[in-house]
Amino acid sequence: MGRRWAARLSLAAGVAALLVLVVFGGLVSLVLMGVGWAGLALSAAGVWWMLTHTGRIRVLAVLLLVAVPLAVLALYAAAGLLWVVLVSLGLWALAVFAGRAALVEDAPPAMPEHPARRAERPFLIMNPRSGGGKVAKFRLAERARALGAEVVVLDPDRPQDVAELAREAVRRGADLLGVAGGDGTQALVAGVAVAHDLPFVVISAGTRNHFALDLGLDRKNPARCLEALTDGVELRVDLGYLRAGGPEEPAEPGEEVVFVNSASFGVYAEVVQSPAYRDDKVRTILEMLPDLLAQESGARLSVRGDGPVLDAPQAVLVSNNPYQRGDSAGLGRRERLDTGELGVLGVHVGSAAEAAELLLRGGQQGRGLTETTAREVVVDADAPVIPVGVDGEALTLPTPVRCRLAPGALRVRVPRHRPGVRLGAPPMDWRRVRRLALTMGRAAAGRGPA
């Protein structure tokens, strides 16, 4: 019933948005709405020119980004229709919001939980710098030791091999491994846990905690993750691996790089390799992007998977299970971590017109953006070595780079009670909204679907 009424509200608000324009503004308001869409497209082109040029063209692009919105608003105000357009846009926003809410179907089945016995000798590694000092703020080391865990707090002034620390703990008899830190550190220790078939605990003490987010853990209070040591259940999730170069044969131990979230290639990976990136991110990006987007520098990539070959994408993201549709930047969430498939996202924007089209499509798949899934992905290039961003860490690897998943390889111990994953609404689909509003209404009245 709720979804049916949300769909009806969406259709009503969409019709009302058009009626407001027609009734109060007539043909002029429709023309001005077209001007608004043109202004949005021109602004997208301005962003593209700003990113792909330097010097005078970049300055002109910035001026364009400022002038276009102001000019559109001035035209609306001069015609006395600014309030009409704003009301119409508000109704349209309501229509989209209600429509997406109506399309949220029953939540997908959760990843199966398995019983887990309490570990006798848990071993945890904690990075005091992660997340702006969450280890100290939440007294994670003290709390973990009180629960019987052996804890190693990394020395910020002395680089340490966290994978070797984990392997040494296993040799001493550790029966559970865990990390309080960023996703890159999580991945290193997770690989050791898989190699020894040990359960792994994620403590959300990093800055972004994407892996913890998709496991349904509490990112605001990482201390709650320690409940996995005393009252936990086990999830069997996939783990990603990268293998650099070489023939297609089983890799030797240590030859593969582990990732829990994603591996990125192309523009982003090139930028984060720069020594200047950590000191001045914005300036470094603006200086490097023109040549990278125009492919005047950096390697020319090709991506092979289960589907068509992606030729010369500017950026590629290969993820441990696909991210939600409509959330292609990899900033959102994965519905599951046990599908056994890699998510593959390729971006290629070659002109201001394509940049504008991508913006107006709301980042949906089409020209310039390719989303797919694959069991294995091979990223090749016209260079012997390419930069790769692996869970936020900058690496360089020989080509080709092979990406694969180990289905269900990682035994993640999580608290029995945790916030869970709140999924976002799906992309808007007006046909489905209309069918939902009308068909469910007829079914409810006993007439059945059309």
Q: Taking the C-alpha atoms of 416, 187, 160 and 201 in order, what is their torsion angle to the nearest 10 degrees?
A: 10
pTM above 0.95? no
Where do runs of H (alpha helix) occur along 162-312?
162-171, 183-195, 210-214, 267-272, 281-293
How many Å apart are CA 180 and CA 31, to the nearest integer?
56
Q: Digits of tens for pLDDT over the chain (450 positions)?
A: 577 888 888 889 988 988 887 788 777 777 777 888 888 888 878 887 887 777 888 888 889 889 988 888 888 888 888 888 888 889 988 988 888 788 776 455 678 999 999 999 999 999 999 888 999 999 999 999 999 999 999 998 888 999 999 999 999 999 999 999 988 899 999 999 999 999 999 999 988 788 999 999 998 999 999 999 999 999 999 999 999 875 555 555 557 999 999 998 988 787 777 766 656 656 666 666 666 666 656 788 999 988 778 888 888 889 999 987 654 444 567 888 999 999 998 887 766 666 656 655 555 555 667 888 999 999 999 899 999 989 878 888 999 999 999 999 999 999 998 887 655 556 677 888 888 888 754 444 444 443
Cβ neighbors of 180 (< 8 A, separation 6 or more) are 124, 125, 126, 127, 130, 134, 135, 140, 203, 205, 222, 225
For the beta carbon of residue 375, count every other beta carbon within 10 angstroms: 12
Residue linked to tokens 């914005």: 282
Q: Please answer whether residues 225 and 201 qualify as being in contact, where contact means their C-beta atoms are separated by less than 8 angstroms.
A: yes
> What does the pLDDT read at residue 25?
75
Cβ neighbors of 159 (< 8 A, separation 6 or more) are none
| CA angle, 304 then 332 then 198, to 5° | 75
Q: If we measure between CA atoms, which residue out of 161, 172, 225 comes closest to residue 196?
A: 172
> What does the pLDDT read at residue 445?
45
Residue 34 backbone phi and psi in degrees, to 5: -60, -35
Q: What is the DSSP letter of 333?
A: -
> What does the pLDDT read at residue 447?
44
> What does the pLDDT read at residue 288?
65
